[in-house]
Amino acid sequence: MILYVCLGVIALCLLANLVLILRSDDATRGVVADMVFYLMLSCYAVWTLLWDTSIVYEVILLGSLLGLLSTVSVARILSKGRR
């Protein structure tokens, strides 16, 4: 029961972020796009608690690494390449 509530909260946050993407400027879109990616990853993590799958940790680990790369690239774009 709790996991379904978690999925509902994640879905509401996902919808709110998608609305924010439509109504904001480019810099905010980049940051919120990362948030949407991490929300999808958390949705997958909760889904795997409900249904048994064989590659849970690998998918979450790979997704986290790719999310980190996208976060760093968005930060680089927002800072206009300055270190």
Residue 70 lies in a domain: yes
Residue 40 lies in a domain: yes
Query: pLDDT-based confidence at 16, cuts 50/70/90?
Result: very high
Q: Is pLDDT at 15 greater than 90 in this prediction? A: yes
What per-residue confidence (pLDDT) applies to 22? 87
Whole-number Cα distances in Å, 32 to 47, 51, 64, 70 = 22, 28, 16, 12
**Owning domain of residue 60:** 2-78
Residue 14 lies in a domain: yes
Q: How many domains does the chain have?
A: 1
Write the single-letter amino acid at 19.
V
Question: What tokens were used for 78?
Answer: 């927002």
